[in-house]
Structure 1
Amino acid sequence: MKHTNTLNIRRYLQWCGLCILLLSAASCKKFLDVVPDNVATIDNAFTMRAEAEKYLFTCYSYLPNSADLSTNPALVAGDEFWMVRPYSTSETPWQVAQGFQSANNVYMSNWGWYYRALRDCNIFLENIHKVVDMRQSEVNRWSAEVIFLKAYYHWLLLRQYGPVPVIRYNLPISSTAEETKVPREHVDTVFSYISHLLDTAAAGLPEIIADRSTELGRITKPIALAIKARVLVTAASPLYNGNTDYTAFKNPDGAPLFNTAYDANKWKVAADACKAAIDACESTDMLLYTFSQLGVTLSDTLTRQMSIRNSTCEQWNPEIIWANPSVSTYEIQRQAMPRLDPARIGNESVLGSLAPTMKIAEQFYTDKGVPMSEDKTFDYAGRMKLRTAVKAEGELIQEGYTTAAMHFNREPRFYADLAFDGAIWMMQKKMFHIESKAGQWQTRKNIYDNNVTGYFAKKLVNWKSEILEGQGLFVETHPWPEMRLADLYLLYAEALNESAGPQPAAFTYIDKVRARAGLQGVQAAWTAYSRQPGKYQTKEGFRQIIQQERLIELAMEGARFWDLRRWKKSMEELNKPVTGWDVDQSDPIFYYRVRTLYRQTFQTRNYLWPLENWDLLNNPKLVQGFGW
């Protein structure tokens, strides 16, 4: 095939995705676009181990760059962060965040991309047995990895689009045009298929990575089981379980795409999957991370903060179930870090423009481990008043500095994850003070360096990163944590509560996460300090506690965006105004006034993505996303 024809095929695939991916003849040529060395045919690609390994990594290459602000909607297309024009990153996610998504102009669509990934996964599985210089055990392991990836790409499509066509295999070249046009499948069928693939993959995957020098980031059995737990918890959640909003969501032949009747057993199935995943993780010595570094001695307060921060930023730490080493965290750290060092304030490498919103700052607990609005020892009504820090607060807020009352007496995760005007920011080589009112060290210096809320995402910055004199920003990069053990523990607590109400095991696992954060267990904290001391005793009350615990523990990691959707709470949360402090003021009296930055709008249709019009024209058996 000539080079120009290959380019034309690539462009065509990008447009029509689904139909072409089903034609294995076109699939043969797609390999040329991804894998080097000009392998001419699929047969050649699977004649030797070295070439087959390239195809294995081609299948991995479709994994999303989860730390990329311009392509991951979970980071900046929701309500956790805010920026203003001109953006220092792609504007695409902000179009979604501002409610500008439409069927005529679909932002951040991954439809064609993941169906191309599925085609390549199927090619691999159909041909890997042909390789002559591989041991059967290696064939089995590689096949299991690609089966996992096939499940995962279906999962990413389902999470974004809801019921989708399932690609069990690539159709032969003899297929008619009509045979390549396939409809969406019932959402329960898609969930079931993904779960089956993950079970199949888990059976052939290693429990640990033995060759840590070259294979870290590849799929293991604990990863497969943990992702299965996440998938099944989503299947049991309100968006997909008994959602009557989708009664009219049907295929052209009238076949329903959702079962709108609630099925309580889905939560039991999800809880069992979570426990199996936890057992698999803990059997390989995974545990919640606690900070301990040779030669570094810190106070209990700072040790706690570093345990919280480094649970996401310390690479390959024992809490990380799955980390993606191909993801670069350079840009997200650059966007999150303010100019910490006043001696190098002119350095343009850091921006500090990735600004957590006021609602994120308010969702963290008080130091008593309960919400600000519930804590009977906390002056919630006076949280916006000014207060000056004393010496005893010096590791959290600068002594003698005046800031908002809501910045005092908060839980350790608040100080570990966020920085604010008056905060302390510890890095490996130095302790910095944040002063971000107009004219101060961390204030806006140009049109791009513009933090619009007054909060900085400390959690996303590795404590070893620094600005070097004359050299710019040095970033201690780390693989992005696709899933942590804390996430799995909280999924298990949620599934247990939903399946049978509050119970000892559910408290045990949520309290493990709270203990690392330096908080009392749920029962003790609510009994002693909450204005609703019996809240944890009902399924509804404990549900609220678990959900807030997830929003806090996994803040700024991309979990909130999808959690709000599966809980069907986006309509509530994403219709609230986006707010922050009045950051262009220099006087504390005026700086600490809450201002509205934007009024978001979220409709029922926004829970799932629309399809491009071209996809619908190309495949008449597809129906548009509900409400679009």
Structure 2
Amino acid sequence: MKKILKSTIVSLVALLSVNGCNYLDIVPDNIMQLEDIFETKEKTYSALADCYSYMPNIYKVHTGTALLGDEWIERFDATVAENRGYCIGNKIMRGWNNTTNSLLCYWTGGQGGTHTYEALRMCNIFIDYLESDFHIIDLSEVERKNWIAQIKVLKAYYHYFIIRLYGPIIINDVNVTPMDDLETVRRRRQPVEDCFQYVLGLLDEVLYNEDGSEKYELQTVTPAIFYGQVNRVIAKALKAKILITRASPLFNGNSEYYSNFVNENGEHYFPQQYDPEKWREAYEACEEAIALAHEQGHKLYEYTDKYRSFDIDDVEESEIMKACYNLRFAITEPWNDELIWGHTGPCDGSNLNLHNTSAIRYQPVNSNEFTHQWLGTSLDVVERFYTKNGVPVDEDKTYYEESERFDMVKIPSDTYHLGYMQPGETTVKMHLNREPRFYAWIAVDRCIWRTWDLRLDIKLRSGEFPGGRMSDNHPTDYFWTGIGVKKYVHPESRGYVASRTIQYPYPLIRLADLYLLAAEAYNEYYGPGQVAYDYLNKIRRRAGLPDVEQVWSDATIVNTVGKHTTKEGLREIIQHERLLELSFESQSYYDILRWKRADEFYTRPVRGWNAPDGKTADSFYQVITWQPRTFTTPKDYLMPIPYNEMLKNPNMIQNPGWI
């Protein structure tokens, strides 16, 4: 929601609910206070907003989930042992999570995590009151049903959010009360299939009548003043994402990791047998969500405004200029047609977010800027992007051999690189002839970055401006790996103060995501086919790339000709496409986990260039291993249940590998 209103219901939840532990708390009679909260439409709306206020703050750099995975690399403190950083997500990727002080704890709240069960208790109170015969002044029946439906979707989302983190969870369908006996209060974790069924049931309750027909109590279109509130398109898109997760290898027949993960009765928490029909259900849900999204006017973003004056000449000549405009604004143009669900969060200095920490500095040193220039990415991510032919670098016969990709070279003045690299400057071969998404979203030394409503020649070597490490700046405020990220910086944002920063919703679900999910589910159930190709090609064409069937059939370009014609080959192509299109959007971490591929990605150290000390091309383009990463399988696939919760509830069973 555009403005989150905190209400006194927070304190009432603390009084009226039992937190799995405070079994002997004496709870006063607060019925009148609750009646006051739901007395009028205005007050009830405040309670509705409060339920939304527990949306996880994904975009916050220090305390959000965005830095889980290998995409974002924070600033390091080289004066502290092991280059310890400050961001909790990166700490988890170092292998520093624990049970006594759990990082990003969304089970009970703390260390950056939201107290999800508190959020669910608030949702239950809201639904209970609005479904009762309690009269709320000025609230229409249409509004009442819509608000109930919204909170049921939120309940589904909150449950789903912690299922992805913890696996089997405690389903919080109804609140426990002080009158409940001890065994009722000490609730048990449920098998993940039961958890998924519960969440899907909540969404179906909102979307369909008992006879299976469409239900319209939940708004189909969200009024502009309420952007961020859920609607039927969001609910169907969320259902599709949940079904994809349920069908994926981590949760579908995972006897490899969880054959011994059972409850006190010996029942498995994870399904032990693979069920291919889950992919069919997921595909059908994707198609249904896409159809409704199209019906409501959602489409892949296309830039139709005037090009910037400094780009007018190049637009007519550059092969990738238009694609890059599409790609930059697809993320940063507020509430554009591609965005299905967005999270609006504060964009101020007290809450460092993806935008201002990845933005480039462009004011004199020591000025009071709103940009910080220290959140970047790694060489592994740079290597992950396609060549200009739309295939991985190791698959492209026409691309540089692995042994020469780090060789230095002068940037050519050809039309392909026009407007995105600085002709005549020195770079490495790996920075040339890459796909448009690379140039739109990645900032490398001697690139061009449209920001501050300017076209800046970026110089990332030590002592250079703008972009490099400056001795007069904060000692850690620079891109330590020598690689920045443009994706979340609106080209018109100016970093003087927060008010000059273009604010936009953080993308939770966009149409491109649904297209890729549909392609994935189709291939997993039916195998390769035109349906999957068409969804992939929608994404690729917008990114300025050739169709998947075309390039993967060309023996002059690819090593593995016909890779797209096998289920396994197309699976790799689809997964790679997701990692690129949704890069830096807090999607890849969960994708890699559900695919059971964490060992491939999360055990590799952080590599980058010698940004702190490299003042020349020769000294800058030295590969530095900045930080080790640790991931233990299967332990780190699930977050730990806090140790205190284990002590308070003897019915609680810990996740595998955690003690």
With structure 2 as the length reference, what TM-score do the two structures score? 0.87
User: Is the alpha carbon distance of 1:103 and 1:281 closer, same or farther for their aligned partners in structure 2, counting shifts above 3 Å?
Assistant: same
Report the alpha carbon displacement of residue 26 of structure 1 after superposing the two structures with TM: 5.9
Report the alpha carbon displacement of residue 493 of structure 1 after superposing the two structures with TM: 0.5
User: Is the alpha carbon distance of 1:523 and 1:274 closer, same or farther for their aligned partners in structure 2, counting shifts above 3 Å?
Assistant: same
Matches of 1:236 and 1:323 in 2, distance apart? 25
Contact kept in structure 2, 1:304 and 1:518, CA below 8 Å:
yes
Matched, 1:334 2:362: no
Matches of residues 71-82 of structure 1 in structure 2 within 5 Å? 71-76=63-68, 78-82=70-74
Among 261, 269, 274, the residue aligned to 1:262: 274
Could you say which residue in structure 2 is the equivalent of 1:34?
none
Tell me the alpha carbon deviations over residues 572-615 of structure 1, each in whole angstroms, 9 at most, x when there is no partner: 21111211112221221232121211221111200000011110
Output the amino acid matched with 2:342. A
Output the amino acid matched with 2:49. F
Matches of 1:27 and 1:142 in 2, distance apart? 28
User: Is the alpha carbon distance of 1:328 and 1:64 closer, same or farther for their aligned partners in structure 2, counting shifts above 3 Å?
Assistant: farther
Matches of 2:28 and 2:399 in 1, distance apart? 62
Contact kept in structure 1, 2:169 and 2:195, CA below 8 Å:
yes
Matches of residues 96-495 of structure 1 in structure 2 within 5 Å? 96-112=92-108, 113-129=115-131, 130-133=134-137, 134-202=139-207, 203=215, 204-209=217-222, 211-212=223-224, 214-244=225-255, 245-294=257-306, 296=308, 298=312, 299=315, 301-328=320-347, 331-339=353-361, 341=362, 344-349=364-369, 350-381=371-402, 382-392=404-414, 393-427=417-451, 429-441=453-465, 442-445=467-470, 446-468=474-496, 474-495=500-521
Unaligned runs of 5+ in 1: 1-5, 30-38
Output the amino acid matched with 2:618. I
Contact kept in structure 1, 2:13 and 2:122, CA below 8 Å:
no
Matches of residues 1-20 of structure 1 in structure 2 within 5 Å? 10=14, 17-18=19-20
Contact kept in structure 1, 2:459 and 2:468, CA below 8 Å:
yes
User: Is the alpha carbon distance of 1:77 and 1:10 closer, same or farther for their aligned partners in structure 2, counting shifts above 3 Å?
Assistant: farther
User: Is the alpha carbon distance of 1:24 and 1:127 closer, same or farther for their aligned partners in structure 2, counting shifts above 3 Å?
Assistant: farther
Matches of 1:28 and 1:12 in 2, distance apart? 9
Matches of 2:277 and 2:28 in 1, distance apart? 40
Report the alpha carbon displacement of residue 54 of structure 1 after superposing the two structures with TM: 1.4
Q: Which has the higher helix share?
A: 1
Deviates more, 1:484-493 or 1:440-449: 440-449
Partner secondary structure for residue 425 of structure 1:
strand
Tell me the alpha carbon deviations over residues 88-144 of structure 1, each in whole angstroms, 9 at most, x when there is no partner: 984422321211112233111011211011111111111114234322111110000
Output the amino acid matched with 2:408. L
Among 36, 42, 48, the residue aligned to 1:50: 42
Could you say which residue in structure 2 is the equivalent of 1:595?
624
Report the alpha carbon displacement of residue 344 of structure 1 after superposing the two structures with TM: 3.4
User: Is the alpha carbon distance of 1:27 and 1:526 closer, same or farther for their aligned partners in structure 2, counting shifts above 3 Å?
Assistant: farther
Contact kept in structure 1, 2:74 and 2:87, CA below 8 Å:
no
Contact kept in structure 1, 2:253 and 2:273, CA below 8 Å:
yes
User: Is the alpha carbon distance of 1:259 and 1:464 closer, same or farther for their aligned partners in structure 2, counting shifts above 3 Å?
Assistant: same
Could you say which residue in structure 2 is the equivalent of 1:33?
none
Contact kept in structure 2, 1:251 and 1:622, CA below 8 Å:
no
Alignment RMSD (CA, Å): 2.5
Tell me the alpha carbon deviations over residues 8-56 of structure 1, each in whole angstroms, 9 at most, x when there is no partner: 995998xx84456x99996986xxxxxxxxx952122223222211111
User: Is the alpha carbon distance of 1:28 and 1:617 closer, same or farther for their aligned partners in structure 2, counting shifts above 3 Å?
Assistant: farther
Report the alpha carbon displacement of residue 450 of structure 1 after superposing the two structures with TM: 2.8
**Number of aligned residues:** 605
Among 526, 534, 540, the residue aligned to 2:568: 540
User: Is the alpha carbon distance of 1:264 and 1:472 closer, same or farther for their aligned partners in structure 2, counting shifts above 3 Å?
Assistant: closer
Matched, 1:620 2:644: no
Report the alpha carbon displacement of residue 303 of structure 1 after superposing the two structures with TM: 2.6
Contact kept in structure 1, 2:71 and 2:584, CA below 8 Å:
no
Unaligned runs of 5+ in 2: 1-9, 109-114, 208-214
Could you say which residue in structure 1 is the equivalent of 2:609?
581
Report the alpha carbon displacement of residue 366 of structure 1 after superposing the two structures with TM: 0.4
Tell me the alpha carbon deviations over residues 525-549 of structure 1, each in whole angstroms, 9 at most, x when there is no partner: 1122211111111111111111110
Could you say which residue in structure 1 is the equivalent of 2:528?
502
Report the alpha carbon displacement of residue 395 of structure 1 after superposing the two structures with TM: 1.1
Matches of 1:48 and 1:28 in 2, distance apart? 21
Matches of 2:581 and 2:28 in 1, distance apart? 42
User: Is the alpha carbon distance of 1:19 and 1:157 closer, same or farther for their aligned partners in structure 2, counting shifts above 3 Å?
Assistant: farther
Tell me the alpha carbon deviations over residues 215-240 of structure 1, each in whole angstroms, 9 at most, x when there is no partner: 11111101011111111101111111
User: Is the alpha carbon distance of 1:187 and 1:250 closer, same or farther for their aligned partners in structure 2, counting shifts above 3 Å?
Assistant: same
Contact kept in structure 2, 1:23 and 1:180, CA below 8 Å:
no
Could you say which residue in structure 1 is the equivalent of 2:77?
85
Contact kept in structure 2, 1:69 and 1:90, CA below 8 Å:
no
Matches of residues 558-573 of structure 1 in structure 2 within 5 Å? 558-573=586-601
